[in-house]
Amino acid sequence: MTTIALPQIIIQSESPVALAVREGLAAHRKSLPAWLFYDAAGSHLFDQITHLPEYYLTRTERAIFAANASEIIEKALQASGLSRLRIAELGAGSADKTRLLLQAAIEFQGTLFYEPLDVSASALHAARQRIEHEIPGVHVLPRVMDYTQGLDFYPAAAGERRMVLYIGSSIGNFEPHQAARILEIVRAGLEPGDTLLLGVDLQKDESTLLAAYDDAAGVTARFNLNMLARLNRELAADFDLEAFAHRAVWNPTESRIEMHLESLVAQRVQIPALDLELSFATGERIHTENSYKYAPGQVEAMLAETGFNPENSWTDERGWFAVWLARAQ
């Protein structure tokens, strides 16, 4: 009897985490993408960051909404010729500050459809339960989606205008060309007259910025180092967290805070799941995040270039953070 040897097909498929780590750490200048921060432990640490005294961003944006939510909703409806809003939110997460806007919209129109979009189904589920419980009249329609790859909203009903929230300065974590691309994606999902509410952290003195990204209690350091802890957990890597230090640096040329993890000694690290051995020199860094700080004119130019008319903006008394209401042209 003849035996026929069948060709062996080996399918190699790496997870998004494995692919990102291989690409970032095998490079000459080592880096890891900022989305790797947000596993369960990292999301919890980020939540702690938002309550730190030095991290002014969340508190300042919330104060802008607390003072101006009704006016924001009124302006979004104005000039639209339509009488009702439906609100979508990109990267909604816990949707905490959003409540102020949802509450204001309910006061105008009694009921509201709210479509939070996020990559985390569990964060969306929790936000839905909380919001429907806390703000009667809001119907939450969660969508699990990576908005950087494209957008797909539920259709608006007749007489409804859409308002998309992109708040928290999330746009600041993208390179300016990627940020513009995201605004183009949002614009493509809107009808003329719909609006975008964009929250952006502004340029300010270096010491305020450095303190916000290197707090005295060390929470941001733990957030940054959690990225290595995550690789230890998920890829069986052997990063020694004591042998790396958190560094926050202001880059004035690019107008951004950079976060890095600096190797404190010459060392080797194994990542068995990737069959990878890395070597680090003393002082060598892994670049983990950029957080761009914009001037108001730059934001308005980017909005105009991507098909929006920046109609109104609100800021705090120190001019540290600003929120734009921009209408799709």
Question: Given the rule CB under 6 A, which residues bind ligand AVI?
Answer: 49, 57, 168-170, 172-173, 213, 220, 289, 291
- CB-nearer residue toward ligand AVI: 113 or 147: 147
- CB-nearer residue toward ligand AVI: 103 or 226: 226
Residues 217, 40: Cα–Cα separation, whole Å: 20
Q: Are 103 and 134 in contact (CB under 8 A)?
A: no
Least Å distance, CB 179 to ligand AVI, is 12
Which among 41, 61, 40 is positioned nearest to 50, based on CA atoms?
61
Residues 75, 195: Cα–Cα separation, whole Å: 10
* Residue closest to ligand AVI, measured at CB: 291
- CB-nearer residue toward ligand AVI: 213 or 280: 213
- CB-nearer residue toward ligand AVI: 80 or 224: 224
Least Å distance, CB 170 to ligand AVI, is 5
Least Å distance, CB 91 to ligand AVI, is 8
Residues 168, 57: Cα–Cα separation, whole Å: 7
- CB-nearer residue toward ligand AVI: 46 or 280: 46
Least Å distance, CB 266 to ligand AVI, is 28
Task: Assign 144 to helix, strand or coil.
Answer: strand
Least Å distance, CB 220 to ligand AVI, is 5
Residue 304 zone, left/alpha/beta (φ > 0; ψ -120 to 50; rest): alpha
| Number of other CB atoms surrounding residue 36 within 10 Å | 21
Least Å distance, CB 117 to ligand AVI, is 16
Give 177's Cβ-side CA count (13 Å radius): 0
- CB-nearer residue toward ligand AVI: 172 or 307: 172
Least Å distance, CB 193 to ligand AVI, is 29
| Number of other CB atoms surrounding residue 150 within 10 Å | 10
- CB-nearer residue toward ligand AVI: 229 or 276: 229
Lookup: tokens for 74: 């009124």
What is the DSSP track for 102-126? HHHHHHHHS-EEEEEEES-HHHHHH
